[in-house]
Amino acid sequence: MDTITVQLKQNGETSSLLTFGEHNIIIDRPVEKGGNGEGPMGGQVLLMSIAGCFSSTLYAAAQVRDLEIEGLEITVKGGISESQPKRFESIELEITNGTCGDEAEFPKLLEIAEKGCIAVNTIKAGMKFSVS
């Protein structure tokens, strides 16, 4: 099985530095929730990751077909549970303003992106999770 590994190191009193290769993201809580507001919260990064995965898969599908995507905007909404433990009960992607060279192909590209995005597939199927 192929794996992707991300490293986390404490960055401050309430923040952490996530590293993957040359890329870094600081994760923190907002000041009103006891953090220092140095970066997004983990749940926000999860939603950002879904949007990024979906869009990169969409772009790859378009490139294979020699189509150019322009003006793409994705809004990801995560519905948070009212009961404990807190979690996302639903996640919705809203695609707006995206066009491609062949408008008839755009819905097919969206379908390919949904089926090919590892983040979307993981959430839809669930997974084994462990802490050691």
3-state secondary structure of 85: coil
Q: How long a stretch of residues is the chain?
A: 132
DSSP letter at 81? P
Compute the C-alpha angle 55/59/62, nearest 5°.
140
pTM of the model: 0.90
Residue 39 in contact with residue 15, Cβ under 8 Å?
A: yes
Structure token digits, residue 72:
């793409």
- At a CB cut-off of 8 Å and minimum separation 6, what does 29 contact? 14, 35, 36, 37, 41
**Which CATH topology does 41-132 take?**
GMP Synthetase; Chain A, domain 3 (3.30.300)
Q: Structure tokens of 17?
A: 């530095």
Residue 1's pLDDT band (cuts 50, 70, 90)? confident
pLDDT in tens, 59-117: 999 999 999 999 999 999 999 999 999 999 999 999 987 788 888 999 999 999 999 99
Q: Rounded to whole angstroms, how far apart are CA atoms 92 and 111?
A: 14
Amino acid found at 108? K
